[in-house]
Each structure stands twice: as C-alpha cells, then as structure tokens.
Structure 1
Amino acid sequence: MKKVLLAGVAAAGLLASGAVAFAADLPSRRVAPVAPVVVPIFTWTGFYVGVNAGYGWNTNSNKGYVDPYTGIVYGTDSSDGGFVGGGQIGYNYQFGQFVAGLEADIQYADMNSSNNNNYVVAPYAGYASAGGNGVEWFGTVRARLGFAVDRALIFVTGGFAYGGGNNGNGTYYNGAFISNSDSTTTGWTVGGGVEYAFTDNLTAKIEGLYVNLGNNGNNSSYVWNNAYSGNNSDDTEFGVVRAGLNYKFNGF
C-alpha cells in the first residue's frame, strides 16, 4: 500500500513539473507601455504684431510769462483728453521666468489743450485765448522687461518717444496779437502693464504710459502797437491707458 501511495505522489509531482514547463514555453502577453502625454511649455519668445486703443490726457506744464513792458500774463494750464489708437510691432525673448523685449508703436491721438491768456495794458484790460500744445500723433521705441507666470506676463517698459500736433491758432483782443507755431518734438516715456496669452499665438495686454516730449516749440510772441514784447514756451506731457491685442509668430 505504501508503494502505491509513493508511486501516486511521484506521478503527481511529474505532472505538475511538466505543466509548469509547458506554461513557461507558451508565448507571453506583454502590453505595450503607454507613452506619457507631454504638454508643450508655452514660451513668450518670438516676433509679434498688434493693434491697440485707449485714452490719453494732457498733463502739460505751461510756463507762464509776465511781460514787464506790456503787463501781459500768459499761460494758465488746462488738461484735455481723447482717443488714442494705433499699432505695434516687437520681439520678446524668454529666459527662465524673465522676458526681455523691444517694442515700437505709432499712434493717432486726439488730445488738444488750450492756454488761456489774461493781460492788462493801459488803457486796455481783457482776456484772450490761444491754441495750446495739442498732440495729434506720437510714437515710441521702448525696451520691455517682464516676469512670466506661465501665460501671464507682468512687465515694465521705457524708452524713446516722439510726436507732434497742430498748434497754429491765435487770437486778437483789444489790439494784442498772440501767434503760435508747432513742431515735432522728441522725449522719453515710461510705464508698465500686464499681458496674457489666450493661445500660443494670441495675447492681450493692458498698459499705461507717461510720455514727456519736452518743449513743444509752441513759442508765443506778443505784439503791442507793433512792438515786440516777449516769449512763452510750453512742455508737452501726457498719460495714456490702452488695451492691445497681439499675434505672436512661432518658430522664430
């Protein structure tokens, strides 16, 4: 009986080892690994072009002049604002989370200011108004430096500015004549803003600029009884708040 049991155990062992060997010889079913999905990292690097529109207002510092010969008092300030709009072109380069770039823009502007002039010349006393240092167009060439948080960019900007307007108005009053001249002037600008990339190519921004064009060449001369009496000059300063839309070219 013991021999029969031992023979059965041996046979079972042989069958089990044979089954294991047969299973090892079968082809294995290996599932191919799934490649990880890599989301492209957005970069601000590239050329771009765009348009903008907003509001600008004069902050002119007009230098008043009191002529000791005639008694004319010239130059009270006024601040008038209006629409500004235009286009821009630029290039950004991103390194880490910092973005450096260069941008140039050209703008139409509807900012006209008037200078009010009071004078007292015996036996006359009165009030006269003359066209002031308005801004009809301007442009800037600026450096930009920003800090990027993924698709959001906070930046500061500053650089060269230029512009001009039509200041050739004059008024006669009680025999006094005030004449004005205009010219294109240059100066500087500084500002900042925030920009956001809605897609890899389309970005929108809001920015503010302070522009100082220096003396605008609006030199007003006063003539009383055909006698030259004095000059006055004005500075051209204004602020701008605008929104812009840019298209960024990839692959540059």
Structure 2
Amino acid sequence: MKLGYFVPVGTIALFALATPALAQDDAGSPDWTGPYVGGSLGYNWQPNNTANDVEQLYFDTDGDGSYGDIVRTGTGGNAFAPGMCDGKATSATTCSSGDREGKAAWSVMAGYDRQFGNIVIGGVLEGGQSYGSNYVTGFSTTPASYTMVRKLDWEAAARLRAGYAINRTLIYATGGLAYGKFKNDFLTSNTANNFAQNNRTEDDWGYTVGGGIDQKISDNFSIGLLYRYTRFNPNDYSVTVTQGSAPATNPFVNPATTVGQTVIGRSNEQYTTQSVRVTAAFRF
C-alpha cells in the first residue's frame, strides 16, 4: 500500500475523534502549558512502496567498493539468474510473498507545551522499541538461497509539536529528528563458502512526521492518538564471501572473475515505517 493511502485514513480518523470536541463551548478551557511524562503503545508497519518492491542483492566482485557487478558461473553466465525476491527464503528456490512485517511498538516520552490563546507549541523526547523487519533474498543456480534481514530494534525521536486547542482537545502536527538502532542478519542454504557479516549493528539518523489528538480527561491526565511516518537510510551492513570448502572455481571467489572474494549488499538502503499509537500522559 502507498503512503498516500495511510495519510488520508489517519487524517480522517483523527478529525473524527475531534468532532465532538469541536462542538463544545470554549468556556473554562484548561491551560495546556507545562511539562508532561507518559508513553505510547501501538502498531508499527512498513508501507509497500516502489523503492522497496524493486530491492535485490547487489554484488562487488572486483573489490572497488562499488556494487552492481555480476557473479559469474564457470561458463560466464549469471550465477543469480533465478532472480531475487522481496521476502524470506522458504527453500533453496522459493521465498515468502512479502518482506514487510507489522508488529507492536512502544515508547516512553517527556515533553513540554506552551499555550498562546488557542495555539499550543511544544517539544517532546521519546524512545522505545519497534519490532519491524524486512527481507531480501537472492537465488543462485546451485541452487541455493541468500537472505539479508534488517530489523529495527530501538528507536528514539526529538519532535516539535504545533496544534490548536479547543476546550480539553488538542489537535496537532508533529515532526523532527529520528534515531534508529538496527540489527542485521544473513541466512543461506550454501554450506560451502564462508560468510562474514560486517556492521551487523547499525545506528542511523532519519526524520519523522505525523499528527495526533490529545484529550484531557482531568487537569493532570490526557490520552491521545498519534500517527507517525518515519524514514531511515541504514547502509553500512554487508556480507563478505570467501572460499571456505568450495573449489577455487566457485563463482564467489573464482580468480578469473573476482578478486578472490565477493561482497554482498542491499540495493535499497531505505527503511520506512508507519505507526498508529495510543498515548497517555501525566501533566504537571
């Protein structure tokens, strides 16, 4: 699904929740100014966007640090002629139908808001875990499968908020800097070559944007609904393939077509997530 689908749906949901509040009288509106602490719990998923749909394994066989080389068989053919798959290998020749997983996500947060009339401006720091992951698999003519797994483990964000308060309801937009800690893994049915993983743990900075609604249910407590779109570009992970027990003519190490090893990477460094979360905060 495209990002454009989720944004309208999220917007409709937010304004639907806000409709009862818009009809309320402004008399006795509470002041949103002050610090708060709280947390969120919800669902995190990856959109089916074009960039992810064309992802494949990339190879560096000549040691120049650039990907895009072809791993050649002994007869000069493409050793990965069977193709690629956006998913996790289920056998040496097949894989699952999609590479994206949606899972639970949680965070803790602390922030400060200041109200000017009906306008509320503030900032929030948050951090927690998002359990999403994605896969890309290549198939060789051996046959054998080679799967790269990227998992977003921990994430944090520093966001600004700007919104409009009506009585006990605050409708806001938000955006800022995002940090993600990724864990990578490599799975293969090839038992002959040796595979060394480089930079299995990655840190990356990205951005996050979204919007939400907060509703005060008392002077010191609020609940809400938050939508966020977040993008990272982790690109340090790779796998170096050496001979192992394979013959010297093995496509990954053949001295006629390689520098004695092959480095495997991912063609697409983009990692995007969307999330919808319920929030709760204690306001001082």
Q: Give the partner amino acid of 2:209.
A: V
Q: Give the partner amino acid of 1:248.
A: R
Say yes or no: does 1:162 pair with 2:164.
Answer: no
1:230–1:67 Cα change, 3 Å: farther
Which of 222, 228, 249 is the equivalent residue of 1:209? 228
Contact 1:187 1:211 in 2 (8 A): yes
Contact 1:172 1:178 in 2 (8 A): no
Say yes or no: does 1:84 pair with 2:105.
Answer: yes
Q: Give the partner amino acid of 1:100.
A: I
1:48–1:147 Cα change, 3 Å: same
Find the counterpart in structure 2 of residue 199 from structure 1. Answer: 218
Find the counterpart in structure 2 of residue 242 from structure 1. Answer: 277
Which of 8, 24, 38 is the equivalent residue of 1:50? 38
Say yes or no: does 1:187 pair with 2:189.
Answer: no
Following superposition, the deviation at residue 82 of structure 1 comes to 0.9
Count of aligned residue pairs for this structure pair:
207
Following superposition, the deviation at residue 196 of structure 1 comes to 0.6
SS in 1 for 2:218: coil
Instruction: Using structure 1 for the length normalisation, give the TM-score.
Output: 0.73
CA deviations on 1:77-103 (whole Å, 9 max, x unpaired) are 611111111200000011011110001
More contact order relative to length (CA 8 Å, sep ≥ 6): 2
Instruction: Using structure 2 for the length normalisation, give the TM-score.
Output: 0.66
User: Sequence identity, in percent?
Assistant: 25
Take 1:216 and 1:75, find their aligned partners in 2: how far apart are those partners? Answer: 19
Following superposition, the deviation at residue 229 of structure 1 comes to 3.1
Structure number having the greater strand percentage = 1
Find the counterpart in structure 2 of residue 36 from structure 1. Answer: none
Contact 2:127 2:157 in 1 (8 A): yes
User: Gapped runs of 5+ residues in structure 2?
Assistant: 1-26, 59-67, 73-77, 88-98, 243-251, 255-259
User: Gapped runs of 5+ residues in structure 1?
Assistant: 1-38
Following superposition, the deviation at residue 176 of structure 1 comes to 5.3
Take 1:216 and 1:105, find their aligned partners in 2: how far apart are those partners? Answer: 24
Find the counterpart in structure 1 of residue 75 from structure 2. Answer: none
SS in 2 for 1:215: coil
1:67–1:74 Cα change, 3 Å: farther
Take 2:279 and 2:235, find their aligned partners in 1: how far apart are those partners? Answer: 28
Question: After the TM superposition, which residues 47-196 of structure 1 pair with which residues of structure 2 at under 5 Å, given as runs?
Answer: 47-59=35-47, 61-62=51-52, 63-64=55-56, 65=58, 67-70=69-72, 71=78, 72=80, 76=86, 78-120=99-141, 124=142, 126-173=143-190, 175=192, 179-180=196-197, 181-196=200-215
What's the C-alpha RMSD, in Å, of the aligned pairs? 2.4
CA deviations on 1:121-143 (whole Å, 9 max, x unpaired) are xxx2x241424111111010000
